[in-house]
Amino acid sequence: SQTIHQWPATLVQPVGSPLSLECTVEGTSNPNLYWYRQAAGRGLQLLFYSVGIGQISSEVPQNLSASRPQDRQFILSSKKLLLSDSGFYLCAWGQGNYQPQHFGDGTRLSIL
Amino acid sequence: QQPVQSPQAVILREGEDAVINCSSSKALYSVHWYRQKHGEAPVFLMILLKGGEQKGHDKISASFNEKKQQSSLYLTASQLSYSGTYFCGTPNSGGGADGLTFGKGTHLIIQP
C-alpha cells in the first residue's frame, strides 16, 4: 500500500532563517506531488505541484520554492522565512486526473 | 476561483442529519470532498464526477450537479466520529492533476 511521510512534524524557526521540509511517498511510482499550506483556521492553499522529476509549477508568488530531485521526493524550501510563512504545511500525492489526493501528516511551522 | 461552502458551521445532536453545500462560479468536471479533524491532515472522502452521479460511503453520501456547478454532502444519522471540518475541492483545470482549490470549510460539531 502507498504511504506518504513528512518531516519534521513541528518546527519553530526565527524570522530570516532558511527552511527545508521533506516529503516522500512509498508504494507508487510517478505520482503527482503537491504542497499545500493551511493558515490557522483557514482552508488549504495550493503552493506547488509536480507531475515529474524536476517539473515544478508554482501557484502563488512567494519566498518559497519547491524541488523534486527524485520521483517520490518533494522538498519545500525557503532562503529567508517571513512571519507570514507560519502555518500547517501539507504534502499530498495523487495519480492524476479524477483521482484522490492523499495527504501526509503535515508540518506545523511557527515563525518567531 | 475558490468554491463557496455553506453553512460555515453546524452543530448537531448525534443521530441528526446534515447537508453541506459547495458551489463554484466556474465550470466543474469533478468535486472532491475531504474531512479534517482538529490538528490532523485532511482525509479523502469521495470524488464526484460530472454526470449528476451520487456516491456513498457508510452514511455519508454526496451529489454533483455540474449544470448548476454545485455539490452537496449528506451526513445521515450523524455519529460523534463525523465531527470535523469538511472541505470541498475543485480542480484547477479538468480532473485536478494540477491541484485543487478548496473552500473555506464547514465546521461540523456532533454533540452526544
pLDDT digits (tens, 9 = 90+) for A50-76: 999 999 998 886 899 999 999 999 999
Question: What whole-number distance in Å separates Cα of residue B46 and Cα of residue B30?
Answer: 10
Question: How many whole angstroms separate alpha carbon B42 and alpha carbon B55?
Answer: 19
Would you state the cell numbers that stand for residue B78, as one nine-digit string? 450523524
Residue entry with cell 503535515:
A106
pLDDT of residue A97: 86
Neighbours of B1 (CB within 10 A): 8
Q: Tell if the CB–CB gap between B92 and A46 is shorter than 8 Å.
A: yes
Contact in structure between B17 and B78 (CB atoms under 8 Å): yes
The partner residues of A89 in beta bridges, in order of sequence, read A37, A107
Q: Which amino acid is at A4?
A: I
Are A52 and A73 spatial neighbours (Cβ–Cβ below 8 Å)?
no
Tell if the CB–CB gap between A97 and B42 is shorter than 8 Å. no
Q: Which residues on B lie below 8 Å from A42 (Cβ)?
A: 104
Place of cell 526565527: A14
User: Which chain A residue has the Cα nearest residue B46?
Assistant: A100
Asked if B104's CB is within 8 angstroms of A59's CB, the reply is no
Query: Do residues B105 and B34 lie in contact, with contact meaning Cβ atoms separated by under 8 Å?
Result: no
Q: Which residues contact A28 (CB under 8 A, 6 or more apart)?
A: A2, A72, A93, A95
DSSP class of B73: E
Residue contact B94–A44, C-beta within 8 A: no
Chain B residues lying within 8 Å of A102, measured CB to CB: 44
Q: How would you classify the pairing of strands B106-111 and B9-13?
A: parallel
- Give helix then strand counts, H and E, for chain A: 0, 11
A95 to chain B, minimum CA–CA distance in Å?
Answer: 8
Q: Among candidates B34, B65, B72, which has minimal Cα distance to B50?
A: B65
pLDDT digits (tens, 9 = 90+) for B50-82: 876 666 667 899 999 888 899 999 999 999 999
Give the closest of A96, A101, A106 to B100, CB-based: A101
Q: In percent, how much of chain A has pLDDT > 90?
A: 84
Segments of chain B with pLDDT less than 70 = 52-57
Chain A residues touching residue B32 (CB < 8 angstroms) = 100-101
